[in-house]
Amino acid sequence: MPKRVLTGTVVSDKTDKTVVVLVERKVKHPLYGKIIRRSKKYHAHDAENQYRPGETVRIEECKPISKLKTWTVIERVDTHVAPEAAHA
């Protein structure tokens, strides 16, 4: 079975060797048909602490590293850093 790969935005890098990635998806409401945004946060392993909030990254499923971490960051897709994150 292939590993799942998701793309999302880094929202937190406060913990050592871990980033929190927000992944958004769009789903259609089953009754009304309106497109709704759904989001979920994933804890991903960042061995070198190189990713910052606001960057778009690609994460891949892996074996459990800790209680919350079962994803690892593969690559940086976009380096656009949010203005509020740049001043912090």
Domains of the chain as residue ranges with CATH: 5-76 (2.40.50.140)
The predicted structure's pLDDT at residue 25: 97
E strand segments, 1-88: 5-12, 18-28, 35-45, 56-61, 71-78
Look at the block and give the residue holding tokens 């759904």.
38
Q: Do residues 42 and 57 make contact, with C-beta atoms less than 8 angstroms apart?
A: no
Whether this prediction's pTM lies above 0.75 is answered by yes
CA 14 centroid distance within chain = 14
Residue 83 pLDDT exceeds 70: no
State the pairing for strand pair 71-78/35-45: parallel
**pLDDT, tens only, 15-45:** 999 999 999 999 999 999 999 999 999 999 9
